[in-house]
Structure 1
Amino acid sequence: MGNFVLVPGAWLGAWAWDAVVEELRAAGHDAHPLTLSGLAERRATGSWAGQQTHVHDIVDAVERLDLHDVVLVGHSYAGVPVGQAAELVSDRLARVVFVDADVPVDGEPFVSGWPGGAEVVASVEANDGFWPPLAAADYAGQGLDEEQIARIVAGSTPHPGATLTEPAALARSLGELPAVYVKCLLDGPEPPPAAAELLKNDSWTLRTLDTGHWPMFSRPQELARLLAEVGEEQREREG
């Protein structure tokens, strides 16, 4: 069975993975959801957090739990620290899964890949160094019902702004990683350009889900099945 480390995107904590964790554990897998510094229950202890803080949060979790054959999963923003952490735990890694995620580009911050990056920076500056959570209306058209949207909004916390502007640091090309990119089609049919370029590598594969940007809420069973399949595919390759 697989060892899954699940890292949520901006504004979210480990709680965002509850339904996916339940499905994975019911299928016999080990699933470890992670809250990054400065968010959810860790908000008070990590308001100073930068992007490298989040990278080390992930590395520390894998090493503290002494996990091996890890399927490391990053959603949205979390793809940036997950991609960097994957290099640092490569000896413990089975596969990296980027769920509708940004990917790190060496020397570039998270906001550099966003058309509205300047607006994000301005929002952080106007809100005491934090990126404010989305409003309920911002989740429209993403395959979420009212109850799911209400849960996301109620659980979200402001995101530490330095994590968005601190540059990524990569020692080698992400194209060398064994990776899967999961594109959620309601959020657009194509991966972002940096991910599309990486998908040209033989070690990367593309999967799709017919749902929106937050599949851990809108389609948790389908997402859990996809993750379990990814873990099984990797074991078959190694076997």
Structure 2
Amino acid sequence: MDGGFRNDHSSSHSTTTTMVARPDDEEMRNMIQGPGDVEWRYEMRRECQEILPNLWLGPFVVSKSLDTLRQLKITHIVCIRDVKEAFSVRPRFQEHFTYMVLDVEDNEEQNLIRVFPAAKQFIDEALASDGRVLVHCNGGISLSPAFVVMFTMQHFSISWEDALHYVQNRRYCISPNGGFLTQIKEYEAIYKASQAVAAYPPAAARSVARRKREDEDGDGDDREDDRKRALVSTEAELARDSDAMET
């Protein structure tokens, strides 16, 4: 399937855009390298890791532990699953957390770019309200990491490669499939274009606005000329009337 989403206990807030001051180049390089004091162990793939402040990435098993979720103070959960996994990979504690459920196939033909904006809005709104978000799929290896890489890329305005390394250096086991990697690369151009459009109105719009101002100015000049011509015409008629009366 092409990928659909469902909100459970979702809020009705309007779209939120989180503006982030980008660190300088040296600080960003250090952040991409990740914490140097973490020794990755195999069993850590069954845990979740904090990728950005208050944004966690992990496998489904974490979302089944209410104690763990409470310990992490999670408030929002993005549950990403293949539709075939719906019977097991599903929200477990809807009375405690706000969920977004995304039915997305873990194959190279799946369109992530179409589904991602809704997930980004959900995460942005959660973080803006001081929430703590867990993003998970079944194994936390391919599906959910692809979304978090795209989110990180746009969050910091960095390249897809830097975003991938940033996330990998915090959750070493991630490995988005080839189709997802291709779309992650494509998304870099998409988000940069959207930022450029937001910063500067399109040339066509500026041109229309300029022509509108010129037309308004021109209309004003035309109205003044019409007024002057009408005044001259009226004076001429009065003069003719005066001559007629004298004769």
Q: Which has the higher strand share?
A: 1
What's the TM-score once normalised by structure 2's chain length? 0.29
Calculate the TM-score normalised by the size of structure 1: 0.29
Mark the structure with the bigger radius of gyration: 2
